[in-house]
């Protein structure tokens, strides 16, 4: 299916019970981290179950432009890269980071390892408004020089690099945990040990944990010392993967859409392969959902397959939802989009930093839910959704087109809402504008969702 930015895709509601296993793509967060770790290592690394998507393509292309030998086998979900032990082959380059936050932040810090480097970086229109100032200020304190072309603290900019000098550096982590991960990934190949002092309330902490776990898997375990307010990275031999093979976990954030599908559709049973010892914080979404519903979940053999079966919609009298999503914020849209189907109000907090992601996610989901006749209370750091089922039915009768704001998670979340047969006639009532936006992390999303309508 080839879809462009102006296309609109009707979502087919579920009208009969369906039981399917979901093949999830590899995690975008893990794939892009593993690509950079492989480039920093002292060997050839093969990345298995790698995600091939818009964001990972940006990282692969950037590393190739920088002179790394990268071989991609899309059919086999495999990428091989020859590490250069912290050396960056080319000292000049122009890089386009699109709207990929991981590529934007990780590559910027990575480039600062180069002595005498000169690089120009730019991104999409949306990326030019996303937070970068805090990371760039910290890198300047480490010896980098930044020349901004339009606005201070934003893309596009010219980066002159002189290696990471090490020592103590303060980093504001209120807006993105990716600032921390960017520093951590590069630090073992700096000039001397680095103490990263974390300032402010750190958002999305599990992603920092993911970075540290992956650094350990690549042999840097002895280099890391962590406290509540700082992380010390010792300059060591760097990265080396004992087997030379790294396996990417299935994407736990992508799993959230199918974890909630039984609740939204009332018709589905879903089997999802996820490791019980996952390094991804978003695996907690399943436990969060279990707290507010009678969603049945079963862990399969060795905890590697989770099964989620159809559950009732919340009934009147059940305590309203009030949940802090600060540590699993990438999944807040998954719950917010289906909130109109619930009986009680849903209040989701700890999500202020999502205003600075692919779009202002709180504003975007609020606008689209209001189209559905829902009462929305929007706060700086939270959203409250007061469902009105009768209004939802009225709007569904007219037909609703959901704007995605170039945001893949808006597209996927509202598609799950559209799977509910709210009109009782099996006819599509909700369409997704710009469905191709899912190519950022889950290019086959709509094919997988449509597969539930087929008899296994």
Q: Which of 203, 233, 263 is the last residue of a domain?
A: 233
Positive or negative torsion for Cα 292, 275, 327, 434? negative
Answer left, alpha or beta for residue 302, where phi above 0 means left and psi between -120 and 50 means alpha: left
Instruction: Please choose, from the candidates 226, 268, 192, 195, the residue with its C-alpha nearest in 3D space to the C-alpha of residue 450.
Output: 268
pLDDT, tens only, 344-377: 899 999 999 999 999 999 999 999 999 999 999 9
The two structure tokens encoding residue 146: 């930044």
pLDDT, tens only, 220-279: 988 899 887 899 999 877 899 999 999 999 999 999 999 999 888 888 888 888 887 899
Which structural domain range is residue 166 located in? 28-233
The torsion angles phi and psi of 80, rounded to 5 degrees, stand at -115, 135
Q: What is the pLDDT of residue 222?
A: 84
CB atoms within 10 A of CB 245: 12
Whether residue 296 sits in one domain with residue 192: no
CATH at 126: 3.65.10.10
Whether residue 283 sits in one domain with residue 169: no
**CA dihedral in degrees (37, 40, 44, 50; nearest 10)?**
30
Q: Among all residues, which ones are annotated catalytic? A: 330
Whether residue 76 sits in one domain with residue 18: no
Q: Residue 319: is its pLDDT beyond 80? A: no
**244 located within any domain:** no
3-state helix, strand, coil in the chain (%, to 5): 40, 25, 40
**3 located within any domain:** no
pLDDT, tens only, 155-193: 999 999 999 999 999 998 888 999 999 999 999 999 999
Place of tokens 């059940």: 318
Q: What is the pLDDT of residue 320?
A: 60
């Amino acid at each position: 299916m080839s879809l462009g930015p102006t296309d609109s895709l009707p979502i087919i509601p579920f009208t009969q019970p369906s039981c399917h296993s979901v093949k999830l793509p590899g995690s975008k967060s893990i794939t892009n981290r593993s690509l950079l770790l492989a480039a920093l290592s002292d060997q050839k690394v093969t990345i298995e179950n790698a995600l091939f998507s818009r964001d990972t393509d940006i990282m692969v292309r950037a590393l190739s432009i920088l002179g790394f030998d990268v071989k991609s086998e899309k059919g086999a979900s495999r990428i091989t890269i020859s590490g250069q032990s912290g050396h960056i082959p080319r000292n000049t380059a122009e890089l386009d980071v699109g709207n990929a936050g991981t590529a934007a932040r990780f590559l910027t810090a990575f480039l600062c390892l180069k002595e005498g480097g000169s690089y120009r970086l730019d991104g999409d229109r949306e990326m030019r408004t996303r937070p970068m100032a805090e990371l760039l200020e910290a890198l300047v304190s480490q010896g980098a020089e930044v020349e901004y072309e339009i606005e201070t603290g934003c893309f596009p900019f010219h980066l002159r690099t002189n290696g990471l000098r090490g020592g103590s550096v303060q980093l504001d982590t209120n807006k993105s945990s990716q600032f921390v991960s960017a520093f951590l990934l590069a630090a073992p190949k700096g000039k001397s040990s680095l103490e990263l002092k974390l300032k402010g309330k750190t958002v999305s902490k599990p992603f920092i944990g993911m970075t540290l776990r992956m650094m350990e898997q690549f042999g840097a375990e002895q280099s890391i010392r962590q406290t509540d307010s700082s992380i010390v990275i010792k300059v060591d031999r760097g990265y080396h993967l004992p087997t030379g093979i790294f396996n990417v976990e299935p994407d736990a954030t992508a799993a959230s859409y199918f974890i909630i599908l039984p609740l939204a559709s009332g018709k589905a049973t879903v089997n999802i392969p996820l490791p019980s010892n996952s390094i991804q914080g978003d695996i907690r979404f399943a436990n969060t959902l279990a707290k507010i519903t009678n969603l049945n979940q079963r862990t399969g053999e060795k905890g590697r397959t989770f099964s989620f079966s159809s559950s009732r919609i919340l009934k009147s009298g059940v305590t309203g939802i009030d949940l802090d999503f600060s540590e699993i914020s990438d999944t807040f849209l998954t719950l917010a989009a289906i909130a109109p189907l619930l009986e009680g109000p849903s209040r989701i907090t700890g999500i202020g930093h999502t205003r600075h992601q692919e779009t202002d996610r709180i504003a975007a989901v609020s606008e689209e839910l209001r189209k559905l006749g829902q009462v929305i209370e929007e706060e700086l750091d939270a959203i409250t959704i007061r469902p009105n089922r009768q209004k939802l039915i009225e709007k569904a009768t007219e037909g609703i087109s959901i704007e995605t704001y170039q945001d893949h998670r808006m597209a996927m979340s509202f598609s799950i809402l559209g799977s509910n047969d709210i009109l009782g006639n099996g006819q599509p009532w909700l369409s997704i504008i710009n469905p191709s936006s899912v190519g950022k992390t889950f290019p086959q999303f709509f094919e997988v969702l449509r597969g539930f309508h087929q008899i296994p």
